[in-house]
Amino acid sequence: MTNTETVRCSRCGKDVTYHYHPVNHGKQLLLSVVTLGLWLPVWLCQAFCPTKLCDQCNGPIW
């Protein structure tokens, strides 16, 4: 899942293409059950606001 759109990576110091951190929903569901729902907000956050990762350095872009 690579974009042609570019964003500025603070680590690389240049415009780079990016991809999204894949979310393992099975694992997130398991974590939510184990933590009695405490993990749910984190899961939702990851599902709706996925972290952009730099294609060059693989670092998160904020």
Among 12, 19, 39, 46, binds Zn ion (CB under 5 A): 12
Q: Which two tokens stand for residue 1?
A: 């899942």
- Separation CA 10–CA 44 (nearest Å): 26
- Separation CA 6–CA 54 (nearest Å): 9
21 touches Zn ion by CB under 5 A? no
Among 18, 52, 53, 54, binds Zn ion (CB under 5 A): 54
56 touches Zn ion by CB under 5 A? yes
3 touches Zn ion by CB under 5 A? no
Asked if 23 contacts 46 with a C-beta cutoff of 8 angstroms, the reply is yes
**Site of interaction with Zn ion (CB under 5 A):** 9, 11-12, 54, 56-57
